[in-house]
Chain A
Amino acid sequence: MLGYILKRFAVMVVTLWIIITLTFVLMVTLPGSPLNEERTTNETVQANLEAHYNLDEPYYIQYLLYIKSIVTFDFGPSIKQPTETVNDLLGRGFPISFELGMATIIVAVISGIILGIFAALKHNGIIDYLAMTIAVLGISIPNFVLATLLIQTLAVYWNILPAATWSSPVHMIMPTIALATGPMAIIARLTRSTMLEVLTQDYIKMARAKGLKPWKIIIKHALKNALMPVVTIMGTLLAGILTGTFVIEQIFGIPGMGKYFVESINQRDYPVIMGTTVFYSAFLIVMLFLVDIAYGFLDPRIKLHTKGGD
Chain B
Amino acid sequence: MTEDAQTRPATVDLAAAYEESGVREVLEELDREMIGLAPVKQRIRETAALLLVDKARRELGLASETPTLHMSFTGNPGTGKTTVALKMAELLRKLGYVRKGHLVTVTRDDLVGQYIGHTAPKTKEVLKKAMGGVLFIDEAYYLYRPENERDYGQEAIEILLQVMENNRDDLVVILAGYADRMDRFFESNPGFRSRIAHHIEFPDYSDPELLRIADIMLGQQNYTFDPAARAAMEEYIALRRGQPHFANARSIRNALDRARLRQANRLFSKAKGPLTAADLSTLTEADLRTSRVFRGGLDVDRARRAEAAE
Q: Do these two chains really belong together in a complex?
A: no
Q: A residues bordering B, Cβ < 8 Å?
A: none
